[in-house]
Amino acid sequence: MPAPVTGAQAIVSAPQLQPPVRAPLGVVVLDPAHGGTDPGARGVGGVRESDLVLDFAAQIRTELEKDGLRVLLTRQGNEDPTFDDRSALVNAQRGAIFISLHVGSTGLPGTVRVYTLPDAPFLSSSAGAGPGAASGLIPWDRAQAPYLTLSRKLADIAQGQLALQFKGSPNSAQTAAVRQLRSVAAPAIAIEISSVTTEDRSILDRMAPGLAACIERAVAAFRPVYDASPAAAAGGMR
């Protein structure tokens, strides 16, 4: 009869648990806000936020695809997906980030601001923090909670690039209760360009190439951060 395995032998012989493996960053979901019957903010010359962000998304997509990234849009034309539809698209991907695009009616014209969600009670991911906590499942409305740290890293990188390109833009990202971000189970940011109040749309159109280049550089800089982060820091194996 073989001798029983004890002590140090038992430790050596035990199965080695491997940390969870998460897919590297390879997908960017761009979310042109509004659409359909919801035009978003409107300018005095008939400029509509929903049209502008769709044009911005097309140029950003081109830049990101040059880096070999797969780019998905939450809408291709003038449809208006629900918040849940937009979240479902990115939540179905592995190795993805989410960027929601907006044009505000306030702010210094020609500037850009980046937002993440704040630490709000509904985003708490601690044990016992609402339905689903005991089962280990994260309720849809708190899906962003495990990703806030990575979201803020992405936001700060993006805001730094935008501040260099667009004079007057803040140097640091800000927080706001952006509904599109709450149910996203991936690093997620919102970018707001200022402003639809301009009487000349061409001013905003001329911002598009610089905006696309900044986002491409930001995502490129964020990729190694994302890939090196523990899977647990990004909410599990995605």
- Note whether residue 104 is domain-resident: yes
Percent over 70 (pLDDT), the chain: 80
Place of tokens 């690093």: 187
Average pLDDT, stretch 40-68? 94
What are the backbone angles phi and psi of residue 50, rounded to the nearest 5°?
-60, -35
Biggest CA pair distance of the chain: 90
CA distance 227 to 238: 11
Average pLDDT, stretch 106-131? 71
Beta strands at 188-194 and 112-116: parallel, antiparallel or unpaired: antiparallel
**Per-residue pLDDT at 123:** 53
CA distance 181 to 206: 27
Average pLDDT, stretch 35-57? 93
- Note whether residue 5 is domain-resident: no
pTM of the complete model: 0.84
pLDDT at 68 over 60: yes
List all residues 6 or more positions away from 95 whose beta carbon is below 8 Å from its beta carbon. Answer: 22, 23, 24, 25, 26, 27, 226, 238
The count of domains in the chain is 1
- Note whether residue 167 is domain-resident: yes
- Note whether residue 15 is domain-resident: no
Q: Which amino acid is at 57?
A: A
**Per-residue pLDDT at 233:** 54
**Per-residue pLDDT at 4:** 46
* Residue 106: burial class (beta carbons within 10 Å; 0-12, 13-18, 19+): exposed
- In CATH, what number is assigned to the domain containing residue 124? 3.40.630.40
> For residue range 144-201, what is the model confidence (pLDDT) as tens digits?
999 999 999 999 999 999 999 999 999 999 999 999 999 999 999 999 999 998 888 8
**Per-residue pLDDT at 204:** 94
Q: What is the rounded end-to-end Cα distance, in angstroms, of the chain?
A: 46
- Note whether residue 195 is domain-resident: yes
Range of the domain at 196: 23-234
**Per-residue pLDDT at 6:** 44
